[in-house]
Amino acid sequence: MSSAVIDKSKNYINHEKGLWSWLTTLDHKRIGILYMITVMAFFLIGGIFAMLIRTELFTAGKTIVDAAQYNQLMTFHGAIMVFMVIIPGIPAFLGNFFLPLQLGAKDVAFPRVNLMSWYCLIVGAAISFFSLFYHGADTGWTFYTPYSIKTDNGTILLVLGAFVMGFSSILTGLNFIATTHRLRAPGMGFFEMPLFVWGLYSTAIIQVIATPVLAITLLLLAAEKTMGIGFFDPALGGDPVLFQHFFWFYSHPAVYIMILPAMGIISELITTYSRKVIFGYKAIAFSSVGIAAVSFFVWGHHMFVSGQSEVAGVIFSFLTMLVGVPTAIKTFNWVATMYKGSIQFQSPMLYAMGFLFLFTIGGVTGVMLATMAADVHFHDTYFVVAHFHYVMVGGTLMAIMGGIYHWFPKMFGKMYSELGAQLSFAFIFVGFNVTFFPQFILGAQGMPRRYFDYLPAFEPLNQISSVGSWTIGVGFLIGLWVIIHGLLRGEKAPDNPWGAKTLEWQTTSPPPHENFYDQPKVTGGPYEYR
Amino acid sequence: MNTVNRTAGEYAHHFENADHEFETSKFGIWLFLCTEVLMFGGLFVAYFLFSNLYPETFVEGAKYLDWKYGAINTAVLLLSSFTMVLGIYYAQNNNTKKCVTSLSITLVCGFIFMFIKYLEYAHKIEMGLLPGEMFSFAEAQSSNLGLYFSVYYMMTGLHGSHVLVGMGLIFWCILRARKGEFNSKYYTPIECVGLFWHLVDLIWIYLFPLLYLID
Amino acid sequence: MFWLNNAHAGNTFMPPQASNFAESVDSLYGFLWYASLISCILVIGGFVYFAIKYKRKTENDQTAYIAHNTTLEFLWSFIPFVVFLVVFAWGWKIFYDMKRAPENALEIHVVGQKWNWDFLYKSGKKQTSEFTVPVNTPIKLIMSSRDVLHSFYVPAFRIKQDVIPGRYTSLWFTATKEGRFNVFCTEYCGTGHSSMLAHVNVVSMSEYEEWLANDPYKGLSMVEVGQKIYQSRCIACHNLTAEKKIGPGFKGLFASNKTFTDGTTGVANEAYIRESILMPNAKKSVGYENAVMTSFQGQLSEDEIAGTVEFIKTLK
């Protein structure tokens, strides 16, 4: 607990010692660090799977693994990256650390629940990985019925693991909504909140509303596999397409769980490194909430050729177009923020610009896929694979990397090697485009996704793509080195190295256990660069 | 934070005062209840979809449920909700003894509910009225009567598991109440468990007519 | 600059245009490409220009305080909105046509299964992994699946539809070019998903009629019949060499000694091969515990089974 005498040498890292103090901590900052370690470990595993997939696809036919092994790699790559990396990546790691700091609070509303959500992730992940010892799972991360009902029972473990990890996400979202509503610093109204908080808040709404539907869907799938309840089995009067509706009712909003907080980070980065007030604060804030709201009514755009009714397809296509508008607004606002700014080419800003570049491409191809007749051709081809990697990796992962470098001095009180971070960025950015741009062409030419083998005509572009993936791998290894080197050898960081205006920069680096020595009071907007 | 002395009206370090903490906890529980509604929502959607597709199957299925059992259970849960409210009322008025009694009656109601549920399940399992593939009741008219029982078991099973969790939480409240941990300044756990218990009752009030009373 | 010639027919980017839908889908696609290109130039070009022009000069730079601009914000909300509405309506129009087969369309039943496609003609003719249609004639495919979801995709025709067990879905098209085009399965269906290939042969009406009247096995020896069956039915899972693919390779299979998962042993004679075709899970060899083979019961005639057995016997 806080002591009366202020000792500035104590911070959240060194005020208690030992592994046990970390595993039982209720401090949101420490829980954030726990998430950072786990998410990075899962990212490494998922990344290795990705490298294996691309290496297998280097040549047509068998290269290093057989079809059954390939399908498992593909399934686990997807499940790990979605459930264990991107969904907890921003909210549970960076959000946990910085939401209370940006709000000027001492902690999140429910610290015990916060710790419990981390354990849910760990337990869920352990159950999922355990399935690898029971023939694994080969359904793809989407678990489509009836294939998932008929395939090996290792799938049940992956499904149950995802179910448990869902609770992690629900609890985090619930905590963040309560924290945002109830624990803002004196003087901070909703429109004085930083845009990262708006992003997390919109995300939390989706986590709370959509994830329970995933939970029941996965429970029904597990019951289907163990008891044959027949909800999704045509032989018993059920409907396999119903599963897709249930699944995408969660999983489409889930892609906004992945991108909304990323957009929040980008708003922070662009205003900080342009040293300029954000352009259209309210437009960005409202478009976050707007995207979250519309996201619940667009799931059917994954199902234009699934056999859903034509009317449904038309409605879903139209609503999907509506999501495009707030997304476009945000993008233009970020560009406008840079106008007449003072732009510093620090590595977080490079990642922010990388985000703008890749996300724009991901966005416009998203409009193509929302157009029904075009989607008929592109659906389930590499065009879709390229599109969602541009949005999820080019968007979310770029934002995570930018966010890590931006907040690294605050989290650890140390600086990182700027040169290393820029080198890592160059490899990732170039490698990313080399990997995924050819996949747009492959998709347009008709190469379906989830293919272990492909026609010889597709080989050259696949080889370019594989080489690109190894380049990304090198980039992330350099990034890992930058982080470890910064932790061990980094120079001591000042409290506010970037001249940023939000509250987390007003405390020491690293922050004390209770976040602030004096309760901060807020008198204006979060980005008053004058 | 674990050292906070609740009986003196203290609160965790990141709140402004005890009221602030209480209101925040209640806000959190309401959010949690939203997630519960959505989780059951998936099953309700499936129910309405299948009952629209196969109305005769659902009418036939309901014939094999005894509405009297369902009605008794509805009454039992309504009573338990009332005693739950009483429990909170007595905690607010520093009447630990009556608070424990009320909560205990609530817990007993939970046991009665689960016992009746057990009787119903046992009877159906014996008849072969089982979900989906395991369905083995010879006199079924509809070819997919098993689907109705899948819906029945999934809905009542998920609900029953919530009753069990609720009973565990009520038991925990009783233990803490006996130690005199609740008073007019601090009764957050009973309040929150109470909200959860009311939701569980409410869901049953929807399940009862939907499953038992179809004509 | 592949995207520049993309809006025109005969581009380098999309597959050949071989159906009535191909041209209209491609012009929509071309429009989307140009619109996307312009947006990307605006956004990416814009921020790159600003980044260079407003690069930080000194540590004490002051910046303009521009919090918003209503006209600009209205424009960049409204213009994308209009563009989105246009592509939505355009996409809907083509989709609308795709969903409405002409009444006089020639109907062919398609049945998907792990991991090949069956095509059933009204004349009673049946083909696997390859089907033939007349050019310039509307064709309607009535599709279903024997096991899990599949999806029927002909890139050259720009059409795709999921195939679902327990219900019928349909597709229609008019082939506008003679030739042989790829058919892919695009809904993940397991180990052999990427081997679930088929072809559509588009021929002239007279050739089609001749083909329809023809006995596919006329003048073929039993081994040749078996070879045809192998090409359409077995190739997804079995090699002609001894190497394992999904199931065992066929070379040297006949008369070899087998150890089964229940511990018994046996010789791969004619009876065993026949049983493996009709009841694949009755006796599984060690090493193939997790391999799943679809039963061909009711799908192959006695002549075809006999031909397949004889064909395997030749692979020594």
ipTM of the complex: 0.91
For domain A27-506, the CATH architecture is Up-down Bundle (1.20)
- One digit per residue, the tens of pLDDT, for chain C of length 316 reads 233 333 343 455 789 999 999 999 999 999 999 999 999 999 999 999 999 999 999 888 888 898 889 999 999 999 999 999 999 999 999 999 999 999 999 999 999 998 899 999 988 888 888 999 999 999 999 999 999 999 999 999 999 999 999 899 999 999 999 999 999 999 999 999 999 999 999 999 999 999 888 877 777 888 888 888 888 888 888 888 888 888 888 888 888 888 888 888 888 888 888 888 888 888 888 888 777 787 887 778 878 888 888 898 888 8
Burial class (CB in 10 A: 0-12, 13-18, 19+), C60: exposed
Burial class (CB in 10 A: 0-12, 13-18, 19+), A428: buried
Domains of chain B: 15-212 (1.20.120.80)
Sequence letter at residue A439:
Q
Task: Give pLDDT, residue B8.
Answer: 60
Across the interface, which of B24, B38, B40 has its CB nearest the CB of A178?
A: B24
The dihedral formed by the CA atoms of C10, C16, C19 and C25, expressed in degrees to the nearest 10:
-60
Helices (H), A297-417: 310-338, 347-370, 372-378, 382-391, 398-412
Q: How far is CA A206 from CA A294, A336, A496, in A?
A: 11, 28, 33
Contacts of A368 in chain C (CB under 8 A): 29, 32, 36
Per-residue pLDDT tens digits for A96-109: 999 999 999 999 99
- Cα C236 → chain centroid: 14
Q: Do residues A162 and A83 touch, judged by C-beta distance below 8 A?
A: yes
Instruction: Please give, rounded to a whole number of angstroms, the shortest distance from the CA of A454 to a CA of chain C.
Output: 7
Per-residue pLDDT tens digits for A60-98: 988 999 898 999 999 999 999 999 999 999 999 999 999
Are the beta carbons of C164 and A380 separated by less than 8 Å?
Answer: no
Are the beta carbons of C36 and A150 separated by less than 8 Å?
Answer: no
Whether B101 shows a pLDDT value over 70: the answer reads yes
Q: Is residue C207 part of a domain?
A: yes
Are the beta carbons of A111 and B36 separated by less than 8 Å?
Answer: no
CB of B34 less than 8 A from some CB of A: yes
Chain A residue closest in CA terms to B33: A208
Contacts of C199 in chain A (CB under 8 A): none
Q: Assess whether C194 and C158 both reside in one domain.
A: yes
Are the beta carbons of B132 and A178 separated by less than 8 Å?
Answer: no
Q: How far is CA A109 from CA A106, B169, C30, C217, in A?
A: 9, 21, 51, 76
A104: left (phi over 0), alpha (psi -120 to 50) or beta: left
Task: Give pLDDT, residue C3.
Answer: 38
Are the beta carbons of C54 and A274 separated by less than 8 Å?
Answer: yes
Task: Give pLDDT, residue B5.
Answer: 58
Instruction: Please give, rounded to a whole number of angstroms, the shortest distance from the CA of C7 to a CA of chain A.
Output: 13
Q: Do residues C208 and C134 touch, judged by C-beta distance below 8 A?
A: yes
Q: pLDDT-derived band of residue B128, with 50, 70 and 90 as boundaries? A: confident
- Chain B neighbours, 3+ Cβ pairs < 8 A: A
Contacts from C226-230 at CB under 8 Å and sequence distance 24+?
C226/C304, C226/C306, C226/C307, C226/C308, C226/C309, C226/C310, C226/C311, C226/C312, C227/C311, C228/C307, C229/C300, C229/C304, C229/C307, C229/C308, C229/C311, C230/C308, C230/C311
Query: Which of A343, A345, A347, A361 to probe the C interface (max C CBs under 10 A)?
Result: A343
Per-residue pLDDT tens digits for A378-395: 999 999 999 999 999 999
Q: Share the mean pLDDT of chain B.
A: 91
CB of B5 less than 8 A from some CB of A: no
Sequence letter at residue A138:
D
Query: Which of B5, B39, B165 to probe the A interface (max A CBs under 10 A)?
Result: B39
Q: Assess whether C244 and C163 both reside in one domain.
A: no
Per-residue pLDDT tens digits for A132-152: 888 889 999 999 989 999 888
Instruction: Read off φ and ψ for residue C119, nearest 5 degrees.
Output: -125, 120
Q: Do residues A400 and A262 touch, judged by C-beta distance below 8 A?
A: yes
Calpha distance B78→A404 (Å, rounded): 52
Across the interface, which of A174, A211, A217 has its CB nearest the CB of B28?
A: A174
CATH number at residue C145: 2.60.40.420
Q: What percent of chain A has pLDDT over 90?
A: 87
CB of B153 less than 8 A from some CB of A: yes
Q: Assess whether C110 and C86 both reside in one domain.
A: no
Q: Share the mean pLDDT of chain A.
A: 93
Per-residue pLDDT tens digits for B199-208: 999 999 999 9
3-state secondary structure of C107: strand
Q: Closest Cα to residue A35, out of A130, A111, A114?
A: A114
Across the interface, which of C28, C40, C43 has its CB nearest the CB of A371?
A: C28
CB of A174 less than 8 A from some CB of B: yes
Contacts of B13 in chain A (CB under 8 A): 1-2, 106-107, 514
| Total beta-carbon pairs less than 8 A apart between chain A and chain C | 265
Burial class (CB in 10 A: 0-12, 13-18, 19+), A24: exposed
Q: Assess whether C188 and C91 both reside in one domain.
A: no
Question: Bridge-partner residues for C211, per DSSP?
Answer: none
| Span A396-414, average pLDDT | 96
pTM comes to 0.90
Per-residue pLDDT tens digits for A326-363: 999 999 999 999 999 999 999 999 999 999 999 999 99
Are chains B and A in touch, 3+ Cβ pairs below 8 Å? yes
- Cα A108 → chain centroid: 21
CB of A105 less than 8 A from some CB of B: yes
Per-residue pLDDT tens digits for A242-292: 999 999 999 999 999 999 999 999 999 999 999 999 999 999 999 999 999
Across the interface, which of C40, C77, C155 has its CB nearest the CB of A360?
A: C40
Q: Is residue C206 part of a domain?
A: yes
Instruction: Please give, rounded to a whole number of angstroms, the shortest distance from the CA of A15 to a CA of chain B.
Output: 15
| Total beta-carbon pairs less than 8 A apart between chain A and chain B | 126
What part of B 54-83 touches A (C-beta under 8 Å)?
54, 57
Q: Assess whether C231 and C168 both reside in one domain.
A: no
Q: Is residue C140 part of a domain?
A: yes
CB of A56 less than 8 A from some CB of B: no
Q: Is residue C205 part of a domain?
A: yes
Across the interface, which of A2, A105, A231 has its CB nearest the CB of B46?
A: A231
Helix pair A195-227, A96-103: axis angle to 10 deg: 140
Whether A6 shows a pLDDT value over 80: the answer reads no
What is the span of the domain harbouring residue C281?
Answer: 222-314
Are the beta carbons of C155 and A445 separated by less than 8 Å?
Answer: yes
Interacting residues of C119 by C-beta distance below 8 A, sequence separation 6+: C108, C109, C110, C126, C127, C128, C130, C131
Q: Which of A197-211, A269-283, A515-529, C41-55 has the lowest mean pLDDT?
A: A515-529
Q: Closest Cα to residue B68, out of B121, B116, B115?
A: B116
The DSSP string of A468-508 is: HHHHHHHHHHHHHHHHHHHHHHPPBPPS-TT---SGGGGS-
- Cα A196 → chain centroid: 14
Are the beta carbons of A106 and B13 separated by less than 8 Å?
Answer: yes
Q: What percent of chain A has pLDDT over 70?
A: 99
- Chain A neighbours, 3+ Cβ pairs < 8 A: B, C
The dihedral formed by the CA atoms of B103, B105, B111 and B115, expressed in degrees to the nearest 10:
-160
CA dihedral sign of residues B72, B74, B78, B81: positive
Across the interface, which of B1, B32, B49 has its CB nearest the CB of A26?
A: B1
| Span B182-197, average pLDDT | 92
Q: Do residues C84 and A321 touch, judged by C-beta distance below 8 A?
A: yes
Q: Assess whether C239 and C310 both reside in one domain.
A: yes
Instruction: Please give, rounded to a whole number of angstroms, the shortest distance from the CA of C201 to a CA of chain A.
Output: 18
Per-residue pLDDT tens digits for B8-26: 667 888 888 888 999 999 9
Q: Is residue C52 part of a domain?
A: no
The vertex-B46 CA angle with B117 and B142, nearest 5°, equals: 75
Q: pLDDT-derived band of residue A171, with 50, 70 and 90 as boundaries? A: very high
Q: Assess whether C206 and C263 both reside in one domain.
A: no
Task: Give pLDDT, residue A156.
Answer: 92
Are the beta carbons of B1 and A1 separated by less than 8 Å?
Answer: yes
Calpha distance B128→C228 (Å, rounded): 49
Total structural domains within chain C = 3
Are the beta carbons of A307 and C167 separated by less than 8 Å?
Answer: yes
Task: Give pLDDT, residue A449.
Answer: 95
Contacts of C159 in chain A (CB under 8 A): 376-377
Instruction: Read off φ and ψ for residue A507, nearest 5 degrees.
Output: -100, 180
CB of A209 less than 8 A from some CB of B: yes
Calpha distance A117→A277 (Å, rounded): 35
